Structure 1
Amino acid sequence: MKLINESVWKFDSVKYGAYMALFLSCIHLVLQEVYNANVLPEPYQTIVSLGLMFLAVLIGRKKAQPNLQQPLGFATITAGHSNTDPGAVNGKVKEADLVVNFRNAVTHYLREAGLQVKTDGTGTKNDPLSAAVKLIQGSSVAVEFHMNAAASKQANGVETIALPKDKKLAQDLSKAVADALGSRLRGDNGWIDQSKSARGRLAYVNAGGLIVELGFISNEDELARFNARYWLAAKAAAKILIDYENCN
C-alpha cells in the first residue's frame, strides 16, 4: 500500500466525515446521559449513524474544492548542450555533465512539490537544443541550465539570459543560485537582456525560455563550490519556480 505524500485533512470528504462522527457522538451522549432516552433500539442507532456518516463523506467528496482542483503548473527544465556536445570543458569536467546533474536535481524538487515537468532526458540523457526548444510550447515556464567559460580564470558569477518580460524571474533565479553557491550576480542584478548578450539571439530564449548560467566552469574555485553545493542551489532555484507557479 502506497500512502499519499500530503495531509488528508485538507479534503472535505475527510473533514465532513469527522465532523459528523463528532456530532453523532455528542447527540448520543446527550440522549443517553442527560435524558436517558433510548430513541431508537441500538442496532438502528448504529445503522443511522453509519448512514449519516457515509452521506457526509459523499457530500464532501462531491463538493467542489477550487484550491485542490487548480491545474498543476507545467514546467520545462532542460540541460544545455547534449550527450554529443560537451559544451565548455575544464580538464575532464564537461559542462554538459554538470548541468544534467543540476537539471535532475531541480526536476526532483519540482515533482516533489507536485508540478508536472518536461525534461530533455532522464538520468544522464541530454537531448540536443532542437529537441529542448520543442518542449517549451505549452509550458508555463521553461528554464535551461548552462555554465559559462572565459579565458580569464578569475571570471565568475551567475546570470540568467531572458527577454524583458521575464526580467524579475531571471533576477530571482540568479539570486537564489548565487546565494546558494556563494557567488556574485552579473548583469542587471542577475538578468542579462538577450539583446545585450554576447551570444546574440538564442533559440531557447526566443521560444520563451530562460537560460541560467550557473557560474564559470573555467574558474576553479567556482567550479569546486558548484560541485559541493549544487543540490542546495537546485533546491533554491526550484523554490523560485514553485513560487512563480503559485502566483500565476
Structure 2
Amino acid sequence: MIRWIDEVKAVPWAPPQVRTLMISAGHSHTDPGAVANGYREADLVLEFRDLVSIELCALGIKHMKDGGKGENLPLRDAVKVAAKCDLAVEFHTDAAGSSATGTWTLSRAHNKPLAAQLCHVTADTLGIRNRGPAPENAGQHHRLAFVSDGGGIIHELFFITNKGDLAAFLGGRRGLAKEVARVLAEAARQP
C-alpha cells in the first residue's frame, strides 16, 4: 500500500513544506536487481529507503514511499504515485566490474540541480567518486519508467560490485540517510 507518511515531528524553525515528495526502493523480492559480494540490491535499497523515511519524519517532511516498512511494491504502482508528486527519488545500486566506483543519478533536465546535490552529498558522505547527474537516457537504467513516466530521479548510491563502495555504504548508510533526507527536505520546502 502506498500512503502518506505523515507521522512527522513538528519543526517550528523550518520553513513549511510546499512540494510533495515520494521515495522509492528499486527492485523487489521478485526482482533482486544486482547481486554481488553477498548482498542483493533490493535488500540494501529497501533498508535505505526506510532509513531516509525516518529521517524525513524527524525533519517534519510529509512524504510517500512505495510500501510499508520492509515492503516494496511493484514499479508500476510506484510510477503512478511518482508522477503525481512534485519530487520523487528511487534508490538503486549500480553494478559493473569490481573497479567501477562512485555515485550518480538519472533524471530529466528539470531535476538536474537536485540530482547533482544528491550525488554531491552521497560522494562526500561515503568518500566515493562523484560521477554526477546524467540524463534520462544514460546507463543501464535507460528509460526506466520511474524517470520516463514518473518524472523522478534514479539515484545510484554506489557500485555493489565494488567492495570498497559496498563497505563505505554499509558503514555509512545511517549518516547518508540523514544527509539525503536533509537535501530532500530542503528541496521539499523550496517553491
TM (norm. structure 2) is: 0.88
Aligned-pair CA distance for 1:132: 1.1
Distance 1:196 1:5 in 2: 39
The reply to whether residue 154 of structure 1 matches residue 99 of structure 2 is: yes
Paired residues of 1:204 and 1:210 also in contact (CA < 8 A): yes
Question: 1:202 aligned to 2:144?
Answer: yes
Residue pair 2:107, 2:136 contacting (<8 A) in 1 also = yes
Larger strand proportion of the pair: 2
1:102 aligns with 2:44: no
Residues 6 and 116 of structure 1: CA distance in aligned 2, closer, same or farther (over 3 Å): closer
Alpha-carbon distance in structure 2 between the residues aligned to 1:184 and 1:122 = 32
Cα distance in 2 between the residues matched to 1:92 and 1:237: 25
Structure 1 segments unaligned to the other structure (5+ residues) = 11-66
Show the counterpart of 1:164.
109
**Higher RCO (CA 8 Å, separation ≥ 6 residues):** 2
Q: What's the counterpart of residue 224 of structure 1? A: 167
Match of 2:129 in 1: 184
Give the deviation of 1:199 after TM superposition.
Answer: 3.3
Match of 1:138 in 2: 84
**Cα shift at 1:109:** 1.2
List per-residue Cα deviations over 1:5-49 (Å, max 9, x = no partner): 556xx8xxxxxxxxxxxxxxxxxxxxxxxxxxxxxxxxxxxxxxx
2:180 corresponding residue in structure 1: 237
How big is the shift at 1:71? 5.7
- Is 1:212 equivalent to 2:158 in the alignment? no
CA distance in structure 2 between the partners assigned to 1:71 and 1:155 by the alignment: 37
Alpha-carbon distance between aligned partners in 2 of 1:80 and 1:201, rounded to the nearest angstrom: 14
Q: Distance in 1 between matches of 2:29 and 2:106?
A: 23
Whole-angstrom CA distance in 1 between matches of 2:62 and 2:78:
16
The one-letter code of the counterpart of 1:158 is: T
* Equivalent residues of 2:37, 2:163 under 8 A apart: no
CA-based RMSD: 1.9
Write out per-residue CA displacement over residues 203-243 of structure 1, whole angstroms, 9 at most, x where no aligned residue: 10012100000000001111011001011111111111111
Q: Which residue of 1 aligns with 2:5?
A: none
In structure 1, the partner of 2:4 is none
Q: Does 1:129 align with 2:75?
A: yes
Counterpart pick for 1:193 among 115, 135, 138: 135
**Residue 244 of structure 1, CA deviation:** 1.1
Count of residue pairs brought into register by the alignment: 182
Describe the shift of the 1:117–1:6 C-alpha distance in structure 2 as closer, same or farther (beyond 3 A). Answer: closer
Q: Secondary structure of 2:121's partner?
A: helix
Identity %: 38
Instruction: Specify the SS of the correspondent of 2:32.
Output: coil
Q: After TM superposition, list the pairs within 5 Å mapping 1:73-84 onto structure 2.
A: 73-84=19-30
Distance 1:99 1:134, change over 3 A: same
- Structure 2 stretches lacking a partner, 5+ long: 1-8
Contact 1:73 1:116 in 2 (8 A): no
User: Deviation of residue 88 (structure 1)?
Assistant: 0.5
Structure 2 equivalent of residue 23 of structure 1? none
